[in-house]
Structure 1
Amino acid sequence: MGKILVEGVGEVQEYVDICDYAVGLSRMIGGPILPSERPGHALIEQWNPVGLVGIITAFNFPVAVYGWNNAIAMICGNACLWKGAPTTSLISVAVTKIIAKVLEDNKLPGAICSLTCGGADIGTAMAKDEQVNLLSFTGSTQVGKQVALMVQERFGRSLLELGGNNAIIAFEDADLSLVVPSALFAAVGTAGQRCTTARRLFLHESIHDEVVNRLTKAYAQIRVGNPWDANVLYGPLHTKQAVSMFLGAVEEAKKEGGTVVYGGKVMDRPGNYVEPTIVTGLDHSASIVHTETFAPILYVFKFKNEDEVFAWNNEVKQGLSSSIFTKDLGRIFRWLGPKGSDCGIVNVNIPTSGAEIGGAFVPSTTVRTFLWPKESSFSKSALCRPFKSFRHCCNSSEEEGNES
């Protein structure tokens, strides 16, 4: 899909890391034993496998996203049926073969983790099939809504990880040596094709011009080329359709009053390469700003005070990731509090992209403390006994018995 070498290697390592996390979690997947209101009885909370877990993943993380779901589902005793993105089917096949070999080497049937390849028709069948006890979907908000309705129609269970319209906020006291590389990494990493990619950059009016100047110079130094080259930092977009969406968004930004200060064009080279792009001069409420474009376009804005910029951060429909750069401890706690960011990932002095294993991307339906609010997810939470998503609960009141 055009991911550069270091990111591809890192993604495979992430699958390994989530497996390590899952192994540790496997010792903690029981329920509590509580005193019962009945004399001489105990109340036992028992968690059992749900059965078959359907996993539908997107093109941008064809290994890691499956790992987040598959590893937890397996240690909870479930079988998995995976449908990867049609454009990354070879990756799905390779991963499935590795898993099957490991299972068979350990005297387990390789079919515990099965794979089906295809398009939307396969995904629709999985969403509607009552034999799929839990469906985990990663993809766009638009498709996620359709999946949710199909699963809900049969009163099924679903986990949805959807889109993001993520913002970085830099205040007047921010360390610019952190802000500039963080904004660049978050905006152009994976060519802007991450759910946690920074789409919006809010700069205090006192540092706006300086940061834009530094960022423009940094963009000019990005090494573009063949993703297999270890020195390359920026690869192509996924498909020609993605290039068309990029160009459409740039033109719409211009129509709404934006100025392209860097990039905005298709590169003159083979492949789906586009220039990483910076746009200034738009109003924070512009329709294109509120549209998630899966491409390396960064919209930059000036702000005057904390109240207005916190409100701007929260005004989009998605609630995935956000980041603030400041040295003010009081402001940091306000950012983390009820009047701050309404996102599930609320970072401080680091980029919006990336997530902790065992924190973000670990779902739980029972706890219902949503990690990613609004249109970014359904039934996702962090560090809240994540195995609960992949098991079902029953409560048993049992007589304690007589002492011998």
Structure 2
Amino acid sequence: MATPALSSTDDIRTRAESALTRCGAQLAAYKGDALTARTPITGAALFGLRADTPADVDRAVEAAGTAFRAWRTTPAPVRGALVKRFGELLTEHKQDVADLVTIEAGKIRSEALGEVQEMIDVCDFAVGLSRQLYGRTMPSERPGHRLMETWHPLGVVGVISAFNFPVAVWAWNTAIALVCGDTVVWKPSELTPLTALACTALLDRAIAETGAPAGLGQVLLGAADVGERLVDSPLVPLVSATGSTRMGRAVGPRVAARFGRSILELGGNNAAVVTPSADLDLVVNASVFAAAGTAGQRCTTLRRLIVHEDVADTVVERLTSAYRRLPIGDPFREDTLVGPLINESSYTRMRTALDRAVEDGGTLCAGGERQLAEAAPDAHYVRPAVVRMPAQTAVVREETFAPVLYVLTYRDLDEAIRLHNDVPQGLSSGIFTADQNEAERFLAPDGADCGIVNVNIGTSGAEIGGAFGGEKETGGGRESGSDAWRSYMRRATNTVNYSGQVALAQGVNFSQ
């Protein structure tokens, strides 16, 4: 069977220009030769773009600070009206933004559209939140006193996002920050600048249409030096950074050194446990998506499958069969399930990890070979790999940001949990079981040590209603739903004395 042709670079470039224009982004204003917008679909360059300077970073932060001083006293439900309009514009331009996500990140159509839907969903969540920024009233120990807490806007929020979710993570932060009364300065990945330009144009339109202060959302294009300037700015009280653990090791201490706050969403080495009672149809279907979706380039990608020895052979056989049938190719084609890796470095890291795994005694059961090399020599399509490992070796304990699934075996659940937790990362996890006791054991305090712990579902596909984030080298940050909004605000404890007398706490007597 002939391999379906890939979209041509000229067609992709035209599609990108059209999407940007419909979103209101003025590409001409960003033309330059410092950055190159590329597409992993063909590996080709699309546009040359300018890069911001450290002085530009300072100006953006200053503008956001000026906007903050007006925005922080705007009633929260009015702030919610801006986010509501932004969500409406995202709905109107869902296809355009999804096109740019596919063009720059290589995501298949359903995943690209799903990412934009996450943006819309978090806007809906934030609009409701704008009327629910609750404090508490606590009983005072002193008569005639009221003790309470209030929450206030924090300031300028710096957002540094990664290529694999080029728009959703920014939206998680921005929608929540805006209703909390903050402003946002965004440094997107240099691999996905076009999506940032489109989303910023839509936000600017929402700001103008609702009469909100100009400058609430700023975007900065550039490499690491731009992000470093943002991280070091004393006018940015909160930095939300998504990326590798290595990046987090640099960002966290620098923000802490100036007594700022950080939300770190870093690496994941996610595992799922498969028990003998598990529904294997459910296991295979969920695992294939979790491990091969987004070409293995999600922070929540399933990287380790810890399977009971009684069902391991069957699970590996079924996974191997499914992997060999996965349609790989142009992410714009509706029948494609696995698109390209982002670049050559990702492919090199994948091949290196597979070589190390085999050296450690692993058996490559499926995948690992490059696809479409003749049709797209500058792109990097690869068949997702399944590797059966005799033990959890050093390479298994590392995060390889590519579609490599290691399969390990166990005899009892305690052993499985030890294997699960014996990695530096702690983002997402799951267990497949029909036994309620096993599920509860996995969810217990001495069970899975991750920020996201699932039962009978894979490690990918978190909903915006829950707080997203992980433990250990994943950084400990929380974004999106639940009470993650508190990270974007400052808390004040208030005591109101309506007694007409001075009464000190703890019964202290200081009368004259």
The alignment's TM-score, normalised by the length of structure 2, stands at: 0.75
Measure, in 1, the Cα distance between the counterparts of 2:467 and 2:143. 42
Once the two structures are TM-superposed, the CA of residue 381 in structure 1 deviates from its matched residue by: 7.4
Query: Structure 2: any 5+ residue segments left out of the alignment?
Result: 1-104, 501-512
Question: 1:213-261 CA distances to partner (integer Å, 9 max, x unpaired)?
Answer: 1111111111111111121111000111111111111111111111111
- Code of the residue aligned with 2:441 in structure 1: it is R
Give the conservation status (yes or no) of the 8 Å contact 1:101–1:110: no
Secondary structure (helix, strand or coil) at the match of 1:28 reads: coil
- Code of the residue aligned with 1:298 in structure 2: it is L
1:214 to 309, 318, 324: 318
Give the conservation status (yes or no) of the 8 Å contact 1:99–1:110: no
Secondary structure (helix, strand or coil) at the match of 2:191 reads: helix
Q: Which moved more, 1:286-295 or 1:200-209?
A: 200-209
Alignment of 1:171-250 (within 5 A): 171-250=275-354
Does residue 288 in structure 1 map to residue 386 in structure 2?
no
Q: Which moved more, 1:337-346 or 1:37-46?
A: 37-46
Measure, in 2, the Cα distance between the counterparts of 1:36 and 1:206. 60
Give the conservation status (yes or no) of the 8 Å contact 1:50–1:133: yes
The alignment's TM-score, normalised by the length of structure 1, stands at: 0.94
Higher helix share: 2
Measure, in 1, the Cα distance between the counterparts of 2:495 and 2:443. 41
Give the conservation status (yes or no) of the 8 Å contact 1:49–1:390: yes
- Code of the residue aligned with 2:495 in structure 1: it is S
| Map of 1:126 onto structure 2 | 230
Q: Which moved more, 1:349-358 or 1:260-269?
A: 260-269
Question: 1:292-344 CA distances to partner (integer Å, 9 max, x unpaired)?
Answer: 00000001112111111110000001111111111111111111102211111
Once the two structures are TM-superposed, the CA of residue 116 in structure 1 deviates from its matched residue by: 0.6
Measure, in 2, the Cα distance between the counterparts of 1:21 and 1:308. 39
Give the conservation status (yes or no) of the 8 Å contact 1:253–1:282: no
| Map of 1:367 onto structure 2 | none
1:316 to 406, 420, 423: 423
Measure, in 2, the Cα distance between the counterparts of 1:384 and 1:190. 26
Once the two structures are TM-superposed, the CA of residue 383 in structure 1 deviates from its matched residue by: 5.8
Measure, in 2, the Cα distance between the counterparts of 1:268 and 1:114. 39
Larger radius of gyration: 2
Question: 1:170-221 CA distances to partner (integer Å, 9 max, x unpaired)?
Answer: 1111111101111111100000000110100111111111111111111111
Secondary structure (helix, strand or coil) at the match of 1:398 reads: strand
Give the conservation status (yes or no) of the 8 Å contact 2:122–2:172: yes
Does residue 87 in structure 1 map to residue 87 in structure 2?
no
1:153 to 237, 254, 257: 257
1:256 to 360, 377, 392: 360
| Map of 2:149 onto structure 1 | 45
Q: Which moved more, 1:29-38 or 1:135-144?
A: 29-38
Q: Which moved more, 1:289-298 or 1:108-117?
A: 108-117
Once the two structures are TM-superposed, the CA of residue 274 in structure 1 deviates from its matched residue by: 1.2
Measure, in 2, the Cα distance between the counterparts of 1:282 and 1:274. 24
| Map of 1:77 onto structure 2 | 181
1:277 to 377, 380, 385: 385
Once the two structures are TM-superposed, the CA of residue 36 in structure 1 deviates from its matched residue by: 2.3
How many residues align? The count is 392
Secondary structure (helix, strand or coil) at the match of 1:199 reads: strand
Measure, in 2, the Cα distance between the counterparts of 1:2 and 1:221. 20
CA RMSD, Structure 1 to Structure 2 (Å)? 1.4
| Map of 1:54 onto structure 2 | 158
Question: 1:344-400 CA distances to partner (integer Å, 9 max, x unpaired)?
Answer: 111111111111212132xxxxxxxxx521111234378652221011011221133
Does residue 400 in structure 1 map to residue 507 in structure 2?
no
| Map of 1:368 onto structure 2 | none
Measure, in 2, the Cα distance between the counterparts of 1:186 and 1:396. 47
Identity of counterpart residues, as a percentage?
46
Alignment of 1:94-105 (within 5 A): 94-105=198-209
